[in-house]
Amino acid sequence: AAKLIEDTLSAYPEKARKERAKHLAVNDPSGKNKVISNVKCRPGVISSRGCTYAGCKGVLVGQIKGMIPISHGPVGCGHYSWSTRRNYATGKRGLNNFVTFHFTTFYQERDVVYGGDKKLDKALDELFEMFPLAQGASVLSECPVGLIGDDIGSVARKKEKETGKWIVPYNCEGFRGVSQSLGHHIANDMWRDWIVERYEPKDLDPDWEPGPYDVVYIGDYNIGGDGWEVLKIFKAIGLRVVARFPTDPNVWDWPKAKYAKLTIVHCARSTQYFAKSMEKKYGIPYYESNFIGATDTFESLRDIANFFDDKIKENVEKFIEKWTPFVEKVKAEYRPRLEGKKVMLYVGGLRPRHVAEALEKDLGMVVIGTGYEFAHDDDYEKTYPKLGEGALIYDDVTQYELDRFVEALKPDLIGSGVKEKYVFQKMGIPFRQMHSWDYSGPYHGILGFLRLARDMDMAVNGAPWKYVKAPWKKEMEV
Ligand code: CFM
Ligand code: HCA
């Protein structure tokens, strides 16, 4: 693998070679061989990263129920983040659910010259007239807003006074930061400062009382229904989820978060900031769970039970006892067909380590290469020990590097995103989208484990890819 890294890098000019070398490593589970992460991409290479606006609007904020998400700026950012992620939500369209709409202030040249505050002010009036039942609105800045210095915070405060609605300003201009990761951080801070800290549960529900088994579930985006799967489990073991941040999330529940007994974090990369704030300010502990794969799901439940009394512990043991035969059946069916198959992964900031665990521990596959688009050092520190010696690690990998690595390592399966998918399928390599679950899922929880196993088996052992030859490897017909 070290030789592969060297050969791959040899195509770059010297400066690029030196810089990219720091992002690539051969794994040592002790964490000795570190990659650098969370730094600016190199101009001239093709990165898969998104921007701060994508992380804030597309990933954390756009799906909040009760809040109208309005993209403040030119039309494109809102359009291209319009229903492109599979964050499922219930509710009534236009009453409390705005997930399928695209709202924008549609900046024009004159707004860049004279400022767009007035346009935003007017847009909010129009929106609340059209959707009077909305709890409020999320204002998401695009690049020009930050460049010209529109003050969305003061518009938000003014409109809150006028309308009585909750209006949360997110200064998530795309040019800030180095990836979507900063957008997550901004969203976390705004949720805390503009919603959780400012309102009380009794403002909305006078009868509400905190209870002994109250938890907050955060960082599960309900992709293909993932979060619903986990909520069913929490219910079965006797926990009461008082607020969900973005699993089909009701914003009016969020003020309850500061009275919970435990914050259960799924994606720590995107929501550890909020969980840490709750710990610091209210003394609420948080726990990083993983509900992908049966082994980790059971382990997470046992760990969660340890924060509570014997009742929850017994419920968890009963749950595990009930579902173990099912898990064993799934493993007996799929493990023999997947055992030893080589996998390469490349996903955002969390899934590479969660998915790797499930594929290795439960299905016997071997992760020979993995990397993150925008992870930080703490994510890599959590990843090294989970991978085998010699696995290739690539941070913010370029399309060129990933192509070379795949050609050399010949994996049986690649799990990555839509930008990678078609390149590798054309090479004839089985591929699964590990962002959207390829229109499948949910993958979380025990039933999700069955779907995960089935989908990996279909991809690896399905016939079509054996017959595919890359167009550029065929002789050209004229
Ligand atoms: Fe967390 Fe996510 Fe991910 Fe992420 Fe994302 Fe996503 Fe992802 Mo795509 S919040 S870090 S910014 S688990 S959208 S649901 S799949 S890159 S690995
Ligand atoms: C994003 C969203 C994304 C993209 C998925 C992909 C998602 O990064 O802005 O590249 O396939 O999960 O929808 O990560």
Please report whether residue 475 resides in a domain: no
Alpha-carbon distance values, 397 to 25, 47, 160, 409 (Å): 12, 7, 43, 15
Q: What is the CATH number of the domain that holds 258?
A: 3.40.50.1980
Closest ligand (CA of 272): 1
Which of 232, 152, 150, 243 has its CA nearest to residue 204?
243
Neighbouring C-alpha atoms within 13 Å toward the C-beta of 43: 0
Rounded CA gap, 206 and 200, in Å? 10
Residue 63 Cα to ligand 2 midpoint, Å, equals 14
Among 198, 216, 231, which residue terminates a domain?
Answer: 198
Residue 119 near residue 111 (C-beta atoms within 8 A) = yes
Rounded CA gap, 271 and 191, in Å? 11
CB-ligand 1 contact for 223 (6 Å cutoff): yes
Please report whether residue 266 resides in a domain: yes
Q: Pocket of ligand 1, candidates 355, 374, 395, 435: which has the most ligand atoms within 8 Å of its Cβ, to mutate? A: 435
Q: How many domains does the chain have?
A: 3
Residue 348 Cα to ligand 1 midpoint, Å, equals 5
Give the pLDDT score at 33: 98
Q: Do 60 and 17 share a structural domain? A: no
Give the pLDDT score at 465: 79
Q: Do 164 and 100 share a structural domain? A: yes
Residue ranges in the chain modelled with pLDDT below 70: 476-478
Rounded CA gap, 246 and 20, in Å? 34
Q: Do 217 and 192 share a structural domain? A: no
Please report whether residue 369 resides in a domain: yes
* Burial tier of 184 (Cβ tally within 10 Å: 0-12, 13-18, 19+): buried
Please report whether residue 472 resides in a domain: no
Alpha-carbon distance values, 164 to 93, 101, 213 (Å): 22, 23, 32
Give the pLDDT score at 473: 76
Please report whether residue 316 resides in a domain: no
Strands of the 67-72 sheet, one edge to the other: 103-104, 67-72, 136-141, 166-170
Residue nearest to atom 16 of ligand 1 (CA): 348
Rounded CA gap, 413 and 345, in Å? 9
Catalytic positions are 51, 54, 85, 184
Rounded CA gap, 370 and 400, in Å? 15
Q: Do 217 and 149 share a structural domain? A: no
CB-ligand 2 contact for 348 (6 Å cutoff): yes
Which of 271, 221, 263 has its CA nearest to residue 239?
263
Give the pLDDT score at 319: 98
Closest ligand (CA of 350): 1
Give the pLDDT score at 459: 96
CB-ligand 1 contact for 348 (6 Å cutoff): yes
Please report whether residue 317 resides in a domain: no
Q: Do 24 and 159 share a structural domain? A: no
CB-ligand 1 contact for 416 (6 Å cutoff): no
Residue 325 near residue 301 (C-beta atoms within 8 A) = no
276 phi and psi angles, rounded to 5 deg:
-65, -35
Q: Pocket of ligand 1, candidates 63, 289, 351, 354: which has the most ligand atoms within 8 Å of its Cβ, to mutate? A: 351
Q: Do 460 and 354 share a structural domain? A: yes
Q: Do 250 and 222 share a structural domain? A: yes
Count of C-beta atoms within a 10 Å radius of residue 203: 11
Q: Do 29 and 165 share a structural domain? A: no
Residue 366 Cα to ligand 2 midpoint, Å, equals 24
Among 251, 267, 289, which residue terminates a domain?
Answer: 289
Among 198, 230, 248, which residue terminates a domain?
Answer: 198
CB-ligand 1 contact for 221 (6 Å cutoff): yes
Residue 437 near residue 277 (C-beta atoms within 8 A) = no
Copy the structure tokens of residue 105: 């202030």
Q: Do 170 and 126 share a structural domain? A: yes
Residue 225 Cα to ligand 1 midpoint, Å, equals 15
β-strand pairing of 392-394 with 24-26? antiparallel
Q: What is the ipTM of this complex?
A: 0.97
Q: Do 258 and 131 share a structural domain? A: no
Q: Do 427 and 365 share a structural domain? A: yes
Instruction: Return the beta strands (E) in 256-340 as ranges.
Output: 262-265, 286-288
**Structural domain for 9, as ranges:** 2-34+335-467
Strands of the 431-433 sheet, one edge to the other: 24-26, 392-394, 366-370, 342-345, 413-416, 431-433
Q: Global pTM?
A: 0.96
Count of C-beta atoms within a 10 Å radius of residue 255: 22
Q: Do 15 and 57 share a structural domain? A: no
Please report whether residue 387 resides in a domain: yes
Please report whether residue 251 resides in a domain: yes
